Amino acid sequence: MVDVPYDAIADIPPAEVAEVELYHPKSWWTQYVFSQDAKFIAIQYSLTASAIGLVALVLSWLMRLQLGFPGTFSFIDANQYLQFITMHGMIMVIYLLTALFLGGFGNYLIPLMVGARDMVFPYVNMLSYWVYLLAVVVLASTFFVPGGPTGAGWTLYPPQAILSGTPGQDWGIILMLVSLILFIIGFTMGGLNYVVTVLQARTRGMTLMRMPLTVWGIFTATVMALLAFPALFVASVMMLFDRLLGTSFFMPALVEMGQQMKYGGGSPILFQHLFWFFGHPEVYIVALPAFGIVSDLISTHARKNIFGYRMMVWAIVGIGALSFVVWAHHMYVSGMHPQFGFFFATTTLIIAIPTAIKVYNWVLTLWRGDIHLTVPMLFALGFIITFVNGGLTGLFLGNVVVDVPLSDTMFVVAHFHMVMGVAPIMVVLGAIYHWYPKVTGRMLHDGLGKFHFWVTFLGAYLIFFPMHYLGLLGIPRRYHDIGEVAFIPPSAHTLNAFITVAALTVGFAQMVFLFNLVWSLFKGKLSGGNPWRATTLEWQTPHTPPEHGNWGKELPVVYRWAYDYSVPGAEQDFIPQNQPRAVRAVHGAGP
Amino acid sequence: MSAIILFMAVIAVIVGWWLSQQRLTAKPWLEEDPIGDFPGTGAMTLPAAKIGLGVFLAVVSSLFALFISAYSMRMNMVDWRALPVPKLLWFNTGVLVLSSVALQWAHVAARRNDVDGVIVGLCAGGASAVTFLVGQLLAWQQLSVAGYFLASNPANSFFYLITAAHGLHLMGGLVALGRTTANVWRGAAMTQVRLSVELCAIYWHFLLLVWLVLLGLLTGWTDDFVDICRQLLN
């Protein structure tokens, strides 16, 4: 080990990584509307996803009002209720979470974190956003077409999805399928970018095993999404054929209103296979970026290197692979062969192993860390707790014998809201508090942030914990009004009203968050380039917010992994990835 | 779902092989590079566009594997009546092979800086691809004249759906091919278009391969294979 003198930094040769030919905007339109800069596209993605996500949030309030106080709100009838649950689910899972994690965080963070100037195919990246926007517009337009949006449930199971008894049979279902097809086309364009950028545009010294876990999570999730979304594409196209052209891919012979329909012989189960072949990986497409981001938040705010980095990477890859062989655990009640059920229950439970490794590693990262209870850290801790809770009920539901009685009850609703609703949203919010200073140059207001966290976190538990109990009582999901039934005690109705009040309160806290976002943009405390004293490359840009091309004249050079926090003997409690050893040798008070 | 499982297994092998080359057992917390000495990033020497195309082909393969999965599940139902495959498909297949050969020709010519050869190859490839598409439309017409309509049987539905999906991918390829041809025509330097020509050729070979698999499926040649796969999973 030879200590290199400090002034050797001046001799660092320019980066040998091939320069991306940057597109420089020539007009106002290409700079602020049809921008090809990944950072700008990320903000476009995030704002669009948040806007449509707000619609889904309002829909959930309407649903809760109906469930908590049935009969009080005359403007919510049974059909509308079904339309609300369908749109709420579809928007939250696909148009909000998938788009935000991959299109939003992926676009912003991948080039910055791997030390690239931009995505490798900026034009395709721009197209990706505009096709996504078109998908969102088509989806939103279903609220205004005759018959309104589809009420088929977010799983869109045939045959009911395209029968006249289901609301939105005229236009709603058609536009929903068209919107999904557009979304998948748009996502594929973006996904190619994320994958190839990680593969080919990493800066010098950035080996795969030096990448922050955020990039690992987003990268693996993108690969999965690229392979899984075609299943939804195929299912959507085939159902569109059934609805519009009278084919019978999924539609069995049916009598509707006394009339024999033209369909015959199709298999609704075929749709379920295709849908869940996409649907289960989708859970991890949302979860893996969350896993990655939360690892970085915990390490940064606990001032400690991530525990078991290698194991974390292997676990991400392992979960990604396993998630393709568990899809039929969503279909235990479809009449499948018992041996199939056994197979899928086994694979489902095996996924718990890499997932548990990740949870242990997060906890062990916190162990004896210098924990700063900043707002991002609070959300990260909230995520771990919520994810463990939601994951444990997943173990119940993964077992066929437990799942069968609980299927289609509120227990399932509570489970998946905990594990893939609240948990990833905690990460999204934590990540926004964490990276907002880089995007805008200003800090979010801390007090409002803490208020936001505590109301959201505690409120989410007040909503979803009691919901498990309702499910155990046997209260079914998707019911507009459960009415007076012998097996449901009056206390269940009181509990439903309580959940509604909690849901509205949590909703109010999100308005405070929105206010904070806008207020801090103008009045927030100036953050400087690296307010969290973090090691990863995005905090080392010459400008904050980073300019077009990210890095000024030369690309950064990476000398170390992403988690050098509290290194013994180092001058500061963090060493940025682009800091060579020489600096520490001279400035550090090494032993 | 056997076809897609098989496909995923192939992808898993490729990804596993690639990962095994990536020093995933490295201990990055022990590594610290002195100035001027870096490990390779492990990035491939291939151009980004080529890798992008490779990833895209994996996505398209996944799409067709899923179509094939759906096909093999649906054909088991009682109402399935296979439709007679129009003779025209054999002619179309021949034309698509020619198209692929022409683009390979263009690719070889591009490597030898033979501009005329490239233009001839690209134009011949494009023309025969268009001929293929017209031939497919004629095959559709023959079927519907003979009474095999889209909705009259699931076998028909799948035939139209799968050939349409394949045709649309070829049309997308024609857009790229058209742009490349225009570039060569306008006299762009051979070094600049060489990659585009190569990517077009790769895409064409891929679509030819997909078509041969689909043809085997639609003509029933692969029924035995599909049966074996199904039994394996049952």
pLDDT of residue A3: 41
Instruction: Report the alpha-carbon angle A34-A36-A40, nearest 5.
Output: 85
CA dist., res. A530 & res. A433, Å (int): 13
What is the 8-class DSSP label of residue B27?
A: -
pLDDT of residue B36: 65
Question: Quick one: how far is CA A314 from the chain centroid?
Answer: 20
C-alpha distances (whole Å) from B190 to each of A151, B100, B180, B187 are: 56, 21, 11, 8
Across the interface, of A13, A234, A560, the residue whose CB is closest to B70 is: A234
**Mean pLDDT lowest for which of A126-140, A141-155, A293-307, B38-52?**
B38-52
Contact A288, A221 (CB under 8 A): yes
> Is residue A10 very low, low, confident or very high in pLDDT (cuts 50, 70, 90)?
very low
Say how many CB pairs under 8 Å bridge A and B. Answer: 180
Residues 1-20 of chain B whose Cβ lies under 8 A from any Cβ of chain A: 1, 4-5, 8, 11-12, 15, 19
> Is residue A27 very low, low, confident or very high in pLDDT (cuts 50, 70, 90)?
confident
Do the Cβ atoms of A204 and B150 come within 8 Å?
no
Do the Cβ atoms of A273 and B52 come within 8 Å?
no
CA dist., res. A188 & res. A35, Å (int): 19
CA dist., res. A347 & res. A329, Å (int): 9
What is the 8-class DSSP label of residue A255?
A: E
| Higher per-residue pLDDT: B94 or B46 | B94
**Mean pLDDT lowest for which of A10-19, A259-268, A476-485, A568-577?**
A10-19
CA dist., res. A257 & res. A79, Å (int): 18
3-state helix, strand, coil in chain B (%, to 5): 75, 0, 25
What DSSP string runs through A552-586? TTS-----S-TT-BS-TT-SSSB--TT--HHHHHH
pLDDT of residue A28: 86
**Residue A526's beta-bridge partner residues?**
A442
Tell me, what amino acid is at B119? I
Contact A217, A292 (CB under 8 A): yes
pLDDT of residue A65: 96
**Mean pLDDT to the nearest integer, A201-230:** 95
pLDDT of residue A13: 41
pLDDT of residue B130: 97
| Terminal Cα-to-Cα distance of chain B (whole angstroms) | 11
Q: Which residues of A touch B154 (CB under 8 A)?
A: 247-249, 265-266
Contact A466, A498 (CB under 8 A): yes
**Residue A409's beta-bridge partner residues?**
A476
Do the Cβ atoms of B28 and A264 come within 8 Å?
no
C-alpha distances (whole Å) from B136 to each of B90, B128, B149, B216 are: 11, 12, 15, 16
pLDDT of residue B77: 87
> Is residue A9 very low, low, confident or very high in pLDDT (cuts 50, 70, 90)?
very low
**Mean pLDDT to the nearest integer, B110-115:** 91
List alpha helices for A264-409, DSSP H.
268-301, 309-322, 338-366, 375-398, 400-406
The residue assigned the tokens 């790229």 is B176
CA dist., res. A293 & res. A100, Å (int): 13
* Closest residue of chain B to A278, computed from CA coordinates: B66
Helices and strands counted in chain A (H then E): 17, 2
pLDDT of residue A4: 39
Tell me, what amino acid is at A504? L
pLDDT of residue B219: 86
Across the interface, of A207, A266, A325, the residue whose CB is closest to B39 is: A207
Report the residue of B5, B18, B19, B32 to disrupt the A interface, i.e. the one with the largest count of A CBs within 10 Å: B32
SS3 A526: strand
Tell me, what amino acid is at A275? F
CA dist., res. A497 & res. A213, Å (int): 41
Q: Which residues of B touch A17 (CB under 8 A)?
A: 41
Question: Quick one: how far is CA A320 from the chain centroid?
Answer: 15
**Mean pLDDT to the nearest integer, A441-449:** 96
Across the interface, of B24, B49, B62, the residue whose CB is closest to A227 is: B62
pLDDT averaged over every residue in chain B: 90
CA dist., res. B160 & res. B151, Å (int): 10
For B46-233, the fitting CATH number among 3.40.50.1220, 1.20.120.80, 3.90.79.10, 3.40.50.300 is 1.20.120.80
pTM here? 0.94
Contact B51, A199 (CB under 8 A): yes
Q: Does pLDDT of A301 surpass 60?
A: yes
Contact B6, B229 (CB under 8 A): yes
CA dist., res. A585 & res. A582, Å (int): 5
**Residue A256's beta-bridge partner residues?**
A259
Domain ranges of chain B: 46-233
List alpha helices for A201-267, DSSP H.
213-245
Query: How large a percentage of chain A has pLDDT more than 70?
Result: 95
Q: Which residues of A touch B214 (CB under 8 A)?
A: none
> Is residue A486 very low, low, confident or very high in pLDDT (cuts 50, 70, 90)?
confident
Do the Cβ atoms of B40 and A582 come within 8 Å?
no
Contact A377, A371 (CB under 8 A): yes
Structure tokens at A308: 């078991």
For residue A575, give how far its alpha carbon lies from the nearest alpha carbon of chain B (Å).
Answer: 11
pLDDT of residue B3: 87
- 0.90 surpassed by complex ipTM: yes
> Is residue B227 very low, low, confident or very high in pLDDT (cuts 50, 70, 90)?
confident
CA dist., res. B116 & res. A565, Å (int): 61
**Residue A565's beta-bridge partner residues?**
A574
**Mean pLDDT to the nearest integer, B85-90:** 92
pLDDT of residue A575: 94
* Closest residue of chain A to B36, computed from CA coordinates: A12
**Mean pLDDT to the nearest integer, A489-501:** 94
Backbone dihedral region of B114: left (phi > 0), alpha (psi from -120 to 50 degrees) or beta?
beta
Q: Which of B200, B206, B209, B180 is nearest to B192 (CA)?
A: B180
What DSSP string runs through A475-513? PBTT-S---S-TTS-HHHHHHHHHHHHHHHHHHHHHHHH
Do the Cβ atoms of B55 and A196 come within 8 Å?
yes
Q: Does pLDDT of A18 surpass 60?
A: no
**Mean pLDDT to the nearest integer, A419-436:** 96
> Is residue B53 very low, low, confident or very high in pLDDT (cuts 50, 70, 90)?
very high
Q: Cβ of A307 under 8 Å from any chain B Cβ?
A: no
CA dist., res. A447 & res. A455, Å (int): 12
Burial A98-113 (b: 16+ CB within 10 A, else e): bbbbbbbbbbbbbbbb
Q: Which of A165, A184, A280, A268 is nearest to A226 (CA)?
A: A184
| Higher per-residue pLDDT: A568 or A585 | A568
Do the Cβ atoms of A202 and B41 come within 8 Å?
yes
Structure tokens at A300: 């940064």
Q: Cβ of B41 under 8 Å from any chain A Cβ?
A: yes
Tell me, what amino acid is at B125? G
> Is residue A472 very low, low, confident or very high in pLDDT (cuts 50, 70, 90)?
very high
Across the interface, of B36, B48, B161, the residue whose CB is closest to A241 is: B161
Tell me, what amino acid is at A536? T
Report the residue of A2, A192, A555 to disrupt the B interface, i.e. the one with the largest count of B CBs within 10 Å: A192
pLDDT of residue A390: 93
> Is residue B37 very low, low, confident or very high in pLDDT (cuts 50, 70, 90)?
low
SS3 track for B67-96: HHHHHHHHCCCCCCCCCCCCCHHHHHHHHH
Q: Cβ of A379 under 8 Å from any chain B Cβ?
A: no
**Mean pLDDT to the nearest integer, A531-554:** 92
* Closest residue of chain B to A248, computed from CA coordinates: B154
Report the residue of A188, A208, A295 to disrupt the B interface, i.e. the one with the largest count of B CBs within 10 Å: A208
Do the Cβ atoms of A277 and B67 come within 8 Å?
no
**Residue A260's beta-bridge partner residues?**
A255
Contact A326, A344 (CB under 8 A): yes
Query: Of A2-16, A523-537, B22-36, which has the strongest mean pLDDT?
Result: A523-537
Q: Does pLDDT of A242 surpass 60?
A: yes
Do the Cβ atoms of B26 and A209 come within 8 Å?
yes
Q: Does pLDDT of A335 surpass 90?
A: no
Ramachandran angles phi, psi of A259, nearest 5°: -105, 135
Q: What's chain A's length in residues?
A: 591
Q: Cβ of A249 under 8 Å from any chain B Cβ?
A: yes
Do the Cβ atoms of A563 and B48 come within 8 Å?
no
pLDDT in tens, A62-81: 999 999 999 899 889 999 99
Q: Cβ of B161 under 8 Å from any chain A Cβ?
A: yes
CA dist., res. A487 & res. A375, Å (int): 43
Q: Which of B52, B133, B151, B44 is nearest to B96 (CA)?
A: B133
**Domains contained in chain A, CATH given:** 39-247 (1.20.210.10), 294-527 (1.20.210.10), 531-591 (no CATH)
Report the residue of A200, A224, A299 to disrupt the B interface, i.e. the one with the largest count of B CBs within 10 Å: A200
Contact A64, A72 (CB under 8 A): no
